[in-house]
Structure 1
Amino acid sequence: MADFTRVNRATSLPISPILSNCRYQRTVSSHRRSTLFKKHAALRFMNLISNKLLYKIHGWLGLNLGLLLFIICFSGTFAVFSSEVDWLINPDMRVAPQDKPIQWEQMYKSVQDAFPDGNNLGIYKETYASSGKRFTSVAYVSIPNGQIRKVYLNPYTGQIQGDTSFFNTQRFFRSFHRRFFDGNRGIFIVTLSSFFLLFSSVTGFLFYKGWLKNLFKLRLKNGLKALWSDTHKLLGIWSLIFALLIALTGVFYFAELLIQGTDNGEVLLPDSPTPITETEQATFGPTPELLPVSTYIHNAKKAFPGLDIQSLRVPTAPGEYVYIDGQAGNPFTRDRANKVYLHPFTGEVVHVQQSSDLNTAEFITDIADPIHFGYFGGIPTKILWFIFGLALSFAILSGTYLWYIRNSAKTDRRIQRLNNKTNGTDSSTYKEKPFARTLGNIPLMRGAIISTAITLLYLLHVTFVTVDDVRYYAPNRLPATASIDTIETGPWEFKLQTSSDRNGRSIITAEVLTNGLPNFKKAYLTSGTEGKVDSASIPLARNSSLSARHFATDSLANLPETFTLVTQSFDGTIYEATVSRKNLANVTYEHPAVANATPTFPNTPASIWIYIGAFILLTISIIGLWLRFLLTNLRDKFRVNTIQAIRRENIHGDPVRSMNPG
């Protein structure tokens, strides 16, 4: 019979096989306990958080921040189909699909011919976040009066079908949802609310036990409270994954905003090509000509065969590259994740970026928008995002209403009990008590009154900045410019103009007219008045008519006697040309009158205002309902406190000292 006795190597003494087996069992049991502990540590931690605490956190978030969250989610839901709404409203945005290649060359020429004084800021195959071959291409053009026009082009013929103000449905909802038309402060508030949405979704999910069995539970005959309770739970559970996606991408936007405000902002941006140096720029000549657009398209496709081109940006200054981007098989990334940079005068490809080359931070930056707005899968995903957006919005609203009816029923029962204990005292006598004596122990409904007041004050501010920002896109925001003179400085030709800014001050602008790109090192206007030199740079861009400098404060009569336009080439040569104020004698220019001091609203189709107005009216109505819920509950709290005070007075004869002051 085999001997299974083990030997201790240190003492050469036999070890009992039974003892050895016991030690082995203890080792295995210890390992299993350690594994189970690690595996279920999170679950045990969650067990420490009671359902009551989860319910309180979930309710507090909903009551105090729910109104702000609702407005953000509701506006985001409207933003999903904003481009499609513009397509329905504006016939210039529609095109019959054709089995033809995109005519980038012809589209670029059409824009140049239609806007000879404008700057072409880029041509896009489709409108932002739109999908389908029935959408026109769009070009953004900056024109001399400070406006940016959207120019709609037939992508198959290259012909212009129409142009509109930069303002439309998509622009309104994009700006309102992203920043409340309130700049970086608005972005901060909107993105910060993503944390609240995340916490509310998680606490609601953890509190709701057995949700898998109740995915379709909706009690229609068990009373109003049961119906709204089931509705709130169903909306919350079915939109949970959507809410987490929206919240997490919003949290990323918040982190992105903070990072961009530091010196490490470039960590979110992929590598870009080395800028063109002044030494290289000096070799281009004074007015280098761009290559045909078809050359850039051909070279980009050759360098990046799988690129489905979505946009083209041709430089307006010699130191810039030609930029082309698009899709390359990953619909979750923005177009900018795949791009090609080309030399403007040789057509050489200088840099290629593919989405697969992005690091984690860069990749998240480029997938956040398609996921957040749901346009990564075209119309099907947009429909889902719209449905889930409505579900999430009304889950927030139904939660508040559920709290309202629960508290109303609870208050009614409490009043009934108190009335029964006051020996027949009529509860209506609370009306005779001073208002200040009814504020005893009201907890301000978990802060809901204060937070709602703060939210409403901010929304009032948002109303004013929204109106002002929308007026910014008005077509007659600035009066038409008037030409002063056309002068030459060396190889370059400029047109001087006068106009007025929105504050009524006269300004002089210089517009480069030379064919090709103006390739100079520096250009500025000077005026030698009272021994002082007043100067400003002119943007190094062809057809640039941006404001160069204020030379007067109120009228053309106060302009200086002479102007000097100075240009300096890269080889150091300086060219000067002087213009006298006498050249203004024949200028037909009307200084803005009082009637024109306030800009009008953008000239857009009436249907756009109807769609925006419907959103505003719905939002105002829901704010009214929210206030009604809170104020009705506050009134009920007053009733309870008053009856309690009456009962104390009947029992103790001292109703005031027995009540806490707040």
Structure 2
Amino acid sequence: MHAKTIRRWSFVHTWSSLVCTLFLLMLALTGLPLIFHHEIDHLLGDAPTLRELPADTPHLDLQRLVRAAEAHRPGEVVQYLAWEDDEPDAVMAISAATAGSDPNESHTFLLDARSGEALEMPSANGGLMLFILRLHVDLFAGLPGKLLLAFMGLLFIVALISGVVLYAPFMRRQRFAQVRRDRSTRLRWLDLHNLIGIVTLVWALAVGVTGVISACADLLIAAWRQDALTAMLAPYRNAPPLGERAPASRLLEIARTAAPDSQPDFIAFPGTRFSSEHHYTVFMNGNTPLTSHLFTPVLIDAQTLGVTAVVARPWYMDALGMSQPLHFGDYGGMPMKVLWAVLDVLTIIVLGSGLYLWWVRRRVPMGSPRTAGADA
């Protein structure tokens, strides 16, 4: 590669890395405990535990669970009900002052599906883990914070690509994985920086890309509502405001009939951002490891309980559905989480060593013997 071209790529790599490194360090450090958030919740005692009941205790009717949620939070309305694979006897409820309230103003708690007993979830409404999650997701700044982090993710991807371009000519002068221990401290860290960076490249790219997609979730959901829902909701455009709505009792039965070979993930109640003023929307996902992260929304008229539409997923919603579990390694059990944590720590080392190399280089006058031999 021509020396002038190398200098250009080096400039791109240096400044794209510098601009995003502090943000990436924050994301890597906060992402580490988030990988193990379930385990940390149990360790801190923030994970609610269901009472022991006979194994054959039936689940309550869905409408009775809605009433139990409303009784637990008087004056609020239920926005969502959701199910977790690892807790089949529980239903997660999210309520707020109004159906359209901001997600950060809602309250999350657990309902025992057999008794309707409500159990608080401290980590979902405050405390250390929620603080870490908010810092990781949006810097406590809402959509502007998410978009800033998305931009930093794009710079991180540019830094990775430019690093690969520079790595090829660098490796022509030494063996793969060689660390020159007999040279200066700076050169040893340069070799380690390059080695760890190339070893973790695929993972870092995957996490960077999925992080950018996840940060744009609000925009993707808004686009989905505009593109997919607007036409389907056209017959309701001039409909009067929803008065009495039908009970939620049969929603799951109706959704399973409309989307066979699927299971319910969550229900969005009328007026929420995942539904409309006139619909329940039941989000179904598949039964295979791949399709379990892909949603099929079933729109059900909130008065007649007739199926209005089974909404086709646009590609960007599939990308969003796949990106979030991949980003946190939350789909392969504990071995995957441990692997993600190790790679996260290695990425922290790459980011920290990059800052160190830049700082040392800028303190050495250009043309000095140390600078001249730095990349030898």
- Spell out, residue by residue over 1:431-467, the C-alpha distance to the aligned partner (whole angstroms, 9 max, x if none): xxxxxxxxxxxxxxxxxxxxxxxxxxxxxxxxxxxxx
Residue 321 (structure 2) pairs with residue 366 (structure 1): yes
Alignment of 1:540-551 (within 5 A): none
Name the SS of the counterpart of 1:345 in structure 2.
coil
Name the SS of the counterpart of 1:62 in structure 2.
helix
The structural deviation recorded for 1:328 is: 0.7
1:236 aligned residue (197, 200, 208): 197
8 Å CA contact 1:55, 1:203 repeated in 2: yes
Compare the two structures and name the one with the higher helix fraction: 2
Alignment of 1:146-545 (within 5 A): 148-155=106-113, 157-162=115-120, 164=122, 166-209=125-168, 210=171, 217-218=178-179, 224-252=185-213, 265-266=223-224, 269-271=227-229, 273-274=232-233, 277=236, 288=244, 290-291=246-247, 293-315=248-270, 319-329=277-287, 331=289, 337-353=295-311, 357-405=312-360, 410=364
Unaligned 5+ runs, structure 1: 1-45, 417-662
Name the SS of the counterpart of 2:228 in structure 1.
coil
RCO greater where, 1 or 2, for CA within 8 Å and sep 6 or more?
2
The structural deviation recorded for 1:341 is: 1.8
> How far apart, in 1, do the equivalents of 2:69 and 2:216 lie?
39
8 Å CA contact 2:286, 2:294 repeated in 1: no
The structural deviation recorded for 1:351 is: 1.7
Name the SS of the counterpart of 1:294 in structure 2.
coil
Unaligned 5+ runs, structure 2: 371-376
> How far apart, in 2, do the equivalents of 1:48 and 1:412 lie?
17
8 Å CA contact 2:224, 2:314 repeated in 1: no
> How far apart, in 2, do the equivalents of 1:278 and 1:251 lie?
34
Alignment of 1:99-110 (within 5 A): 105=62, 106-110=64-68
> How far apart, in 1, do the equivalents of 2:117 and 2:323 lie?
34
The structural deviation recorded for 1:163 is: 5.0
Cα distance change, pair 57–154 in 1 and its aligned pair in 2 (3 A): same
> How far apart, in 1, do the equivalents of 2:369 and 2:184 lie?
21
8 Å CA contact 1:342, 1:349 repeated in 2: yes
Name the SS of the counterpart of 1:125 in structure 2.
strand
Name the SS of the counterpart of 2:110 in structure 1.
strand
Cα distance change, pair 405–324 in 1 and its aligned pair in 2 (3 A): same
Cα distance change, pair 373–397 in 1 and its aligned pair in 2 (3 A): same
8 Å CA contact 2:224, 2:317 repeated in 1: no
- Spell out, residue by residue over 1:539-564, the C-alpha distance to the aligned partner (whole angstroms, 9 max, x if none): xxxxxxxxxxxxxxxxxxxxxxxxxx
Query: What is the TM-score normalised by the length of structure 1?
Result: 0.45
- Spell out, residue by residue over 1:244-281, the C-alpha distance to the aligned partner (whole angstroms, 9 max, x if none): 123333554677778899xxx45885346426648865
- Spell out, residue by residue over 1:215-250, the C-alpha distance to the aligned partner (whole angstroms, 9 max, x if none): 654566766334423331232122211221233335
8 Å CA contact 1:225, 1:402 repeated in 2: yes
Alignment of 1:546-565 (within 5 A): none
The structural deviation recorded for 1:208 is: 1.7
> How far apart, in 2, do the equivalents of 1:100 and 1:381 lie?
34
Aligned residue pairs: how many?
354
**Paired position in structure 2 for 1:138:** 92
Residue 79 (structure 2) pairs with residue 121 (structure 1): yes
Amino acid at match of 1:175: R
Amino acid at match of 2:83: K
Instruction: Report the RMSD for the aligned CA atoms in angstroms.
Output: 4.2
Name the SS of the counterpart of 1:338 in structure 2.
strand
Cα distance change, pair 319–255 in 1 and its aligned pair in 2 (3 A): closer
Structure with bigger gyration radius: 1
8 Å CA contact 1:54, 1:203 repeated in 2: yes
8 Å CA contact 2:35, 2:341 repeated in 1: yes
> How far apart, in 2, do the equivalents of 1:235 and 1:363 lie?
31
Alignment of 1:570-589 (within 5 A): none
2:44 aligned residue (89, 103, 122): 89
Query: What is the TM-score normalised by the length of structure 2?
Result: 0.74
Name the SS of the counterpart of 2:9 in structure 1.
helix
Name the SS of the counterpart of 2:309 in structure 1.
strand
Aligned-residue sequence identity (percent) comes to 19
